Structure 1
Amino acid sequence: MKTTRRNTKKIKCGNIFIGGDAPITIQSMTNTDTRDVKKTVEQIKKLEEAGCEIIRLAVPDMEAADAIYEIKRNVKIPVVADIHFDYRLAIKSIENGVDKLRINPGNIGDINRIKKVVSKAKEYNIPIRIGVNAGSLDKKILKKYNGKITPSALVESALVHIDILESLDFNDIIISLKASDIRLTYEAYNLLAKKVDYPFHIGITEAGTVWRGTIKSSIGIGCMLLNGIGDTLRVSLTGDPIEEIKVAKEILQCLGLRKYGINLISCPTCGRCQIDLSKIANIVENELKNINIPITVAIMGCAVNGPGEAKEADIGIAGGKNSALLFKKGKIIKKVSEEDIIKVLLEEINEMKEGI
């Protein structure tokens, strides 16, 4: 598999870039009523704090489009308007300061309406994400593929929409090919990657609950990223969107594509473990969740393999009988009683933090 990203255009979105040599960014979508400015801003700020870098809002009507003006005044990250069918909502959203549109050019009316949206996007210098979704493919394309949703059908739909925008001399385009099926999504993105150089927004749509969706998204998004595909991503979960950010950050950190602070590794334990490793690992993880320094911490169950298996860790512990060995870079520093393990480990990490 490739380990480097495909070469793409670099598209400006608000105060950040998508594609090219820009970092892979994390997105989410609010689940508040966009017309409720107060609740929407509150949720966006929480997402900002969690690490969200681009936020998308549903814009079902003109009241929601008008709310964007006040929402934009109160948040820092780029705001994307999610538009379906009504081209006037797209125009109003742009005028009210949105940083990007998510549309399907084919479902907002005839070419004259599309021209009006594109003209306004050019005027305000904002990009358009073409969002192809397996659940809403054009009937003509579905008929061509005998009613089956295939990678080629998704790609053909994307190319039709791309052609519409390019015919209007518009090239600030980002593309997503969303499906709930991992293999379908993976194959579609790989097929389209051979045909265009636009940045890709990746994810597995309607992935499910936090537990199930985390697994599904990690597999799908991880496969694409390992194959060099993906410039911005959203983990789609049924639940608090904060969970989407947590999972997205961990996916990127596990693949070494972004660094978000502490990298905690811990063993699954076995019959050799003589300390409450699960409790220690969970407490340490919680205590370190807001520390943004690039160090690896290992919580290992025994001294048989602990320092050896985690020798690349900056610091860690390996359990013994009612005690643990404290080690740094695989070298044992001292022995600590079980009741002092967490305290001593956190003190050592804080000292390391001061030195970075």
Structure 2
Amino acid sequence: MQRKQTRVLNIGAVGIGGDNPVRVQSMCNTDTRDVIATVTQINQLAEAGCEIVRLAVPDDKAAAVLKDIREQSPVPLIADIHFDYRLALDAVEAGFEGLRINPGNIGDEQKVDIVVRAAMANNVPIRIGVNGGSLEKDLLRQFGGPTPEAMVESGLRHVAMLEKRGFYDTKISLKTSSVLNTVAAYRLMSEKVDYPLHIGITEAGTLVRGAVKSAVGLGLLLSEGIGDTMRVSLTHDPVAEIGVAYEILRSLGLRERGPEIISCPTCGRTEIKLIELAEKVEEALRGVEEVFTVAVMGCVVNGPGEAREADIGIAGGRDLGIIFRKGEVVRKVKGNENLLPEFMKEINMFLEERRK
């Protein structure tokens, strides 16, 4: 697939657009006024591979602690601002690397001027975020609802306000909970502008539903070369969003991070608690960045053969498991209670060998 060449801009030290990789970002769900909880979650997201984190800034109390949070964050931060232009100025002054703000929603022309000047002076990009649930009333009347065309028109209005002031460090998002409408909106916008696009399916739902909707929608867009940054929006721990995002990118051959874990769906021949084992292996490897393939199989008869291409794997049977590398058995493990600890020992040995 061929990525569309968009403008390059920087969120702090993280480049987006152009030939930069598709960047993975998320948003804290903590109360921003709680510095400890927010910094803790930012660190958790960063450890999982998140490259840009967005924070809600709802009021002056949240704005007052932004500098403290910024000083402790290992990744660039974006302030999410609605209506109050002063909060945007506070975020810029605190050192935040990006703003998510719609210029048409923060007041009169003079207030827009002030925010744009501050962003330009501090090299702070602005993301225009169009949401199908909050479109301008005249556009809803004109287009008969929150259609893809209405969303694109709304985005272009905000873009025009920035371009009028000579500001071009802009990123655009167009989100609805409808996969097909979101995809259509991004396709239209991609034809009209060369600004970087932040893609996502908003309000996608809980872990499974949200992951499926995001995989379908973002997968379609990314396969067409559309998308410079992405967020998988889940009603769940934000850290889970990062894993889903990287699996989407991995499946399309765009980016890889951490081990790929393959496991069989279980069947009548399964004689171990395979689901539990696979989940524990996945959890144990969550912080590993090296790229390799791990297989967790439920049948000692067919497991090694079916997972022959895996770098390392385990297959369990009745009170017996076998550990294999590239389909070749390296040792046997007696007792199902020993499968996980022995397998993790073998994985650690495997990683130590690779790191030498």
Q: Does the alignment reach a TM-score above 0.5?
A: yes
Q: Alpha-carbon deviation of 1:215?
A: 2.6
Q: Is 1:252 matched up with 2:268?
A: no
Cα distance between partner residues in 1 of 2:150 and 2:301: 54
1:217-296 paired onto structure 2 within 5 Å = 217-296=214-293
Runs (4+) of structure 1 exceeding 6 A deviation are none
Code of the aligned partner of 2:289:
N
Q: Which residue of the partner structure matches residue 35 of structure 2?
A: 37
Cα distance between partner residues in 1 of 2:2 and 2:335: 44
Contact 2:100 2:127 (8 Å CA) reproduced: yes
Cα distance between partner residues in 2 of 1:303 and 1:164: 64
Q: Which residue of the partner structure matches residue 213 of structure 2?
A: 216
Deviations 1:296-328 (A, max 9, x none): 011222355433332221122344554344332
Q: Which residue of the partner structure matches residue 131 of structure 1?
A: 129
Contact 1:275 1:323 (8 Å CA) reproduced: no
Q: Which residue of the partner structure matches residue 151 of structure 1?
A: 148
Q: Which residue of the partner structure matches residue 13 of structure 2?
A: 15
Cα distance between partner residues in 2 of 1:346 and 1:69: 41
Cα distance between partner residues in 2 of 1:69 and 1:342: 44
Q: Alpha-carbon deviation of 1:336?
A: 4.3
Q: Which residue of the partner structure matches residue 77 of structure 2?
A: 79
SS of the aligned residue for 1:142 comes to helix
1:105 is matched with which residue: 95, 103, 106? 103
Q: Alpha-carbon deviation of 1:46?
A: 2.7
Cα distance between partner residues in 2 of 1:218 and 1:83: 28
Q: Which residue of the partner structure matches residue 186 of structure 1?
A: 183
Contact 2:48 2:286 (8 Å CA) reproduced: no
Cα distance between partner residues in 2 of 1:286 and 1:269: 19
Q: Alpha-carbon deviation of 1:234?
A: 1.6
SS of the aligned residue for 1:26 comes to strand
Cα distance between partner residues in 1 of 2:30 and 2:286: 26
Q: Alpha-carbon deviation of 1:20?
A: 1.6
Q: Alpha-carbon deviation of 1:264?
A: 0.9
Q: Which residue of the partner structure matches residue 168 of structure 2?
A: 171
Cα distance between partner residues in 2 of 1:26 and 1:69: 23
Contact 1:66 1:93 (8 Å CA) reproduced: no
Q: Which residue of the partner structure matches residue 344 of structure 2?
A: 346
Q: Alpha-carbon deviation of 1:265?
A: 0.4
Cα distance between partner residues in 1 of 2:340 and 2:28: 37
SS of the aligned residue for 1:194 comes to helix
Code of the aligned partner of 2:282:
E
Contact 2:85 2:111 (8 Å CA) reproduced: yes
Contact 1:275 1:338 (8 Å CA) reproduced: no
CA separation of 1:159/1:310 partners in 2, compared to 1, >3 Å: closer, same or farther?
same
Cα distance between partner residues in 1 of 2:75 and 2:141: 41
Cα distance between partner residues in 2 of 1:343 and 1:39: 32
| Larger deviation, residues 167-176 vs 206-215 | 206-215
Identical aligned pairs, as a percentage? Answer: 53
SS of the aligned residue for 1:307 comes to helix
Cα distance between partner residues in 1 of 2:35 and 2:322: 52
CA separation of 1:92/1:274 partners in 2, compared to 1, >3 Å: closer, same or farther?
closer
- RMSD value over aligned CA atoms? 2.2
Code of the aligned partner of 2:230:
L
Q: Which residue of the partner structure matches residue 311 of structure 1?
A: 308
Code of the aligned partner of 1:129:
R
| Larger deviation, residues 298-307 vs 259-268 | 298-307
Code of the aligned partner of 2:220:
C
Cα distance between partner residues in 1 of 2:141 and 2:333: 69
Cα distance between partner residues in 2 of 1:347 and 1:72: 38
CA separation of 1:301/1:174 partners in 2, compared to 1, >3 Å: closer, same or farther?
same
Q: Alpha-carbon deviation of 1:102?
A: 0.6
SS of the aligned residue for 2:299 comes to coil
Code of the aligned partner of 1:244:
E
* Count of residues paired in the alignment: 353
Q: Which residue of the partner structure matches residue 28 of structure 1?
A: 26
Contact 2:322 2:331 (8 Å CA) reproduced: yes
Q: Alpha-carbon deviation of 1:332?
A: 4.0
Cα distance between partner residues in 2 of 1:226 and 1:307: 32
Cα distance between partner residues in 2 of 1:77 and 1:175: 21
Deviations 1:162-217 (A, max 9, x none): 12211211111111001111111111111111111111111111122234323322
CA separation of 1:305/1:197 partners in 2, compared to 1, >3 Å: closer, same or farther?
farther
Code of the aligned partner of 1:164:
M
Contact 2:47 2:287 (8 Å CA) reproduced: no
Contact 1:7 1:197 (8 Å CA) reproduced: yes
Cα distance between partner residues in 1 of 2:213 and 2:222: 14
Unaligned runs of 5+ in 2: none
Cα distance between partner residues in 1 of 2:55 and 2:285: 31
Cα distance between partner residues in 1 of 2:111 and 2:209: 40
| Larger deviation, residues 171-180 vs 249-258 | 249-258
Cα distance between partner residues in 2 of 1:319 and 1:111: 67
CA separation of 1:248/1:335 partners in 2, compared to 1, >3 Å: closer, same or farther?
same
